């Protein structure tokens, strides 16, 4: 586990630079989850470290395989200086612990909801999990371990989350793209939905 997390942190540092802050959260019955903060100009990136220590397993499986199963970490990018986004640290840790706590398999296209604003004044309580491989490349591990995927999180307003449940993740992403939505704006409004 420690070896995997060392490789994950090295991959994050290679892709995002040196973290300027880190926080750790431990929930009862789970492994420790850290959240690292990286500053890149006016963009602040938060990345979890610890979610990939154990593979995610199908909640219907009788026994969880200690080796096989998808592994992931979460990455959130926002524009700095517009809101107190550092308050998102605990919520990201909650989302990163959800595979251990709730038996969730976090995958692209999924919605994750924390039930309260991601940070003070945020119009978002949920995020859309996007495809990996863009900002931080997947980290290959030795067989039989699956690679660690670095999944971007895209904040959604409650209207967008409801629309996504009906129309799907792909259509929501197309709507964002067609309207030139700045998904890193921590105070943005919902896109126009038909």
Q: Is the link from the previous residue into 48 a cis peptide, with omega within 30 of 0?
A: no
Predicted local confidence at residue 46, as pLDDT: 98
- Whether the model clears a pTM of 0.75, i.e. scores above it, the answer is yes
Categorize the per-residue pLDDT at 7 as very low, low, confident or very high, splitting at 50, 70 and 90. very high
* Number of Cβ atoms within 10 Å of the Cβ of 151: 25
pLDDT one-digit tens code per residue, 118-160: 999 999 999 999 999 889 999 999 989 999 999 999 999 999 9
Three-state DSSP class for residue 149: strand
Token pair of 35 as six digits? 């959240």
In the beta sheet, which residues pair with residue 153?
A: 76, 129
Distances from the Cα of 45 to the Cαs of 21, 40, 42, 140, 162, in angstroms? 11, 8, 10, 22, 26
φ, ψ dihedrals at 105, nearest 5°: -105, 110
């Amino acid at each position: 586990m420690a070896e995997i997390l060392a490789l994950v942190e090295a991959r994050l540092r290679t892709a995002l630079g040196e973290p300027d802050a880190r926080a750790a959260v431990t929930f009862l019955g789970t492994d420790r989850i850290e959240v690292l903060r990286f500053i890149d100009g006016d963009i602040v990136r938060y990345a979890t470290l610890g979610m990939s220590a154990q593979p995610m397993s199908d909640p219907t499986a009788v026994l969880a395989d200690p080796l096989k199963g998808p592994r992931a970490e979460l990455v959130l990018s926002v524009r700095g200086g517009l809101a107190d986004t550092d308050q998102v640290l605990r919520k990201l840790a909650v989302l990163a612990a959800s595979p251990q706590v709730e038996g969730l398999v976090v995958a692209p296209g999924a919605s994750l909801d924390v039930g309260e604003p991601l940070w003070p004044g945020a119009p978002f309580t949920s995020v859309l999990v996007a495809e990996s491989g863009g900002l931080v490349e997947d980290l290959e591990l030795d067989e039989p371990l699956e690679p660690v995927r670095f999944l971007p999180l895209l904040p959604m307003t409650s209207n967008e989350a409801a629309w996504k449940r009906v129309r799907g993740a792909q259509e929501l992403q197309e709507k964002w793209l067609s309207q030139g939505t700045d998904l890193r704006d921590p105070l943005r409004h919902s896109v126009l939905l038909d």
